[in-house]
Amino acid sequence: MLTNKKIVLGVTGGIAAYKAIALTSKLTQAGATVKVILTAGAQEFVTPLSFQAISRQPVFVDTFKELDPGKIQHIDLADWADLFIIAPATANIIGKYANGIADDMLSTTLLATKAPVYIAPAMNVDMYHHPAVQENMSVLSKRGVDFIDPNDGFLACGYTGKGRLAEPEEIVAYLNKKVAEKQVLAGKKILVTAGPTQERIDPVRYLTNYSSGKMGYAIAEAAAQMGAEVTLISGPVSLATPNRVKRIDVESTKDMYQAVMDHFPSQDIVIKSAAVADYRPTIQANEKIKKQSEQMTIALEKTEDILKTLGQKKTSQFLVGFAAETTNVRQYGKKKLVEKNLDAIVINDVSKQGIGFGSDDNEVLILINDGSEIQINKTSKVAIARQLLTEISHRLEGEKQ
């Protein structure tokens, strides 16, 4: 599963750093291309030359030592990676990553990458179980980071307990397993809509909503990581395009409708998470409307019902809708599931604080047309995206059997 994978291996300052040399060798033997980042602490235990000799790739040690003047190396490396591994990972790098601190080559590259991140901790048993370390690991887990658990045993400090870096063979086996799991959508074409739409009133004003697009972008990113060919149709948002995702920008509901219909026939899965406007001004002024009376009335007309149209037109596509509600969440969700001929619907209560529009977290109820329900309590939108896509892949696999 690691053949032709591009892997960035981050090595931090602990005695277990010597195992990272063997890990580099085994990853290379498995067919991966490995580029190593060494922290200053790691270089107290191992040398760049050791990794360079095994990987036959440049080794990175300094954010400001640009090897290629035509590129910003930490951004280029972050974009290059298919997988990002930290082994061994000290309490220090885990804390920095959890809190968004970027003060060296490894931490800056970590914050810039969109590749799946795997962390293999190695430290003293009491450090590993310290509440601060456990809390930082919990934060990262909610963001979608995978942890490769350390082993129990005799530690370099003389203590016995959990904290030994997993053996290189165990790490490679874990990565093989995870990569296989994450490729469950290989060969599938997925269309995702995200963000709000804008309905013009005049050249300087428009009607819109609070959607940030974060949920849709998380789904598109997760789908690409799981092997799918992803097309993302996005309303106006300030988000970067996920790696390996084809993005189409639109403005109005009519624009999104047309783009969706153009791509719909060739898709296997369609996930409509965009919060499109239900109404638009009947008349869109060509010039700015001047302030006149104390009150102003704008006549509105219904926009195209994209989801309903898709439900009518679908053949073999697995169709998923989203519903942002404030009351009677399950009731309205079930109604939309049936009325719009959906295979699944994801419902969230946007009246709750800390979830929904603009937040990195969400809390959703997924209703499936087979009658099953999946409640996902508050967690990151990335985690929700992965669980949703996993549920979809299970049902598509079940249809084959």
Give me the pLDDT at residue 218, please: 93
* pLDDT surpassing 60 at residue 401: no
**Residue range 109-131, pLDDT digits in tens:** 999 998 989 999 999 999 999 99
CATH of the domain at 334: 3.40.50.10300
Which of 150, 182, 214 is the endpoint of a domain? Answer: 182
Which pLDDT belongs to residue 356?
66
CB contact at 8 A, 107 and 143: no
199/331 same-domain check: yes
Q: Is residue 75 part of a domain?
A: yes
- Residue 270 bridge partners (DSSP): 191, 319
Does pLDDT of 392 surpass 90?
yes
Q: How confident is the model at residue 58 (pLDDT cuts 50, 70, 90)?
A: very high
Q: Which residues pair with 160 in a beta bridge?
A: 154
Instruction: Return the higher-pLDDT residue of 382 and 275.
Output: 275
User: What are the φ and ψ backbone dihedral angles of 214, each rounded to 5 degrees?
Assistant: -60, -40
Q: Per the annotation, where are the binding residues?
A: 278, 288, 322, 336, 340
Residue ranges at the known binding site for CTP: 278, 288, 322, 336, 340
CA 322 – CA 319 distance, rounded (Å): 10
Q: Which of 152-161, 209-218, 349-358 has the highest mean pLDDT?
A: 209-218
In this predicted model, what pLDDT tens digit does every residue of 12-24 receive, in sequence order? 999 999 999 999 9
Clarify whether residues 219 and 76 are in a common domain.
Answer: no
> Which of 130, 165, 182 is a domain's end point?
182
Instruction: Please determine, for residue 154, whether its predicted confidence score (pLDDT) is greater than 80.
Output: no
The residue segments making up the domain with residue 230 are 189-400
Pair 135, 62 in one domain = yes
Q: Is the pLDDT of residue 232 over 80?
A: yes
Q: How many independent structural domains does the chain possess?
A: 2
Q: Note whether residue 105 is domain-resident.
A: yes
Interacting residues of 372 by C-beta distance below 8 A, sequence separation 6+: none
- Verify that 234 and 165 share a domain, yes or no: no
Is 41 a residue whose pLDDT tops 90? yes
Strands (E), 43-105: 59-60, 83-89
Read off the pLDDT of each residue in 51-78 and give the average, rounded to a whole number.
89
Specify the CATH number for the domain of residue 127.
Answer: 3.40.50.1950
- Domain assignment present for residue 17? The answer is yes
* Cα 237 from Cα 250, distance rounded (Å): 10
Q: What's the half-sphere exposure (Cβ side, CA atoms, 13 Å) at 356? A: 18
328-364, pLDDT tens digit by residue? Answer: 888 888 999 999 999 999 998 877 777 767 788 888 9
Q: Which of 182, 197, 225 is the last residue of a domain?
A: 182
Report if residue 1 sits inside a domain. Answer: no
Do 219 and 81 sit in the same domain of this protein? no
- Residue 131: other Cβ atoms inside 10 A: 7
pTM for this model (two decimals): 0.67
pLDDT at 369: 92
Indicate if 99 and 231 belong to the same structural domain: no
DSSP 277-316: -SEEESS--SSPPPP-SS-----EEE---HHHHHHHH-SS
Model pLDDT, residue 399:
62
Residues marked active site are found at 157
User: 55 is written with which tokens?
Assistant: 């990987």
Please give the structure tokens belonging to residue 344: 């699944």
Q: How far is CA 341 from CA 312, 321, 376, in A?
A: 7, 10, 23
Considering the domain architecture, whether residues 234 and 258 belong to the same structural domain is answered as yes
Residues 59 and 175 in one domain: yes
